[in-house]
Amino acid sequence: MTPLASPLPWADLLALFGHFLLLSLLAVGGAITTAPDMHRYVVEERHWLLDAQFSASVALAQAAPGPNVLFVAVLGWNIAGPLGALATMTGTLLPSTVLTLLASRWGARRRETRGMRAFTTGLVPITIGLLFATGWLLAAPYVAGAPRWPGALALIACCLVVMLRTRWSPMWLVGLGAVVGALGWV
pLDDT tens by residue, 100-126: 899 889 888 888 899 988 988 998 899
Give the integer Cα–Cα distance in Å for 69 and 53: 17
CA distance 102 to 88: 22
User: Is the pLDDT reported for residue 5 higher than 60?
Assistant: no
Tens of pLDDT, residues 32-59: 889 999 999 999 999 999 998 999 999 8
Classify residue 74: in a domain, yes or no: yes
Number of compact structural domains in the chain = 1
Q: Measure the CA–CA gap between 123 and 29, rounded to whole angstroms.
A: 9
Asked whether the whole model's pTM tops 0.75, one would answer no
As a whole number of angstroms, the distance between CA 91 and CA 108 comes to: 26
In a domain, residue 142? The reply is no
pLDDT of the residue at 4: 55
In a domain, 121, yes or no: no
Torsion from C-alpha of 135, 92, 54, 140, nearest 10 degrees: 20
164 is a domain residue: no
Rg (CA), the chain: 19
Give the mean pLDDT of the chain.
88
Whether 91 is in a domain gets the answer yes
Higher-pLDDT residue of 64 and 168 is 168
Please state, as a whole number, how many other Cβ atoms lie within 10 Å of the Cβ of residue 119.
12
Structural domain of residue 25, as residue ranges?
A: 10-113
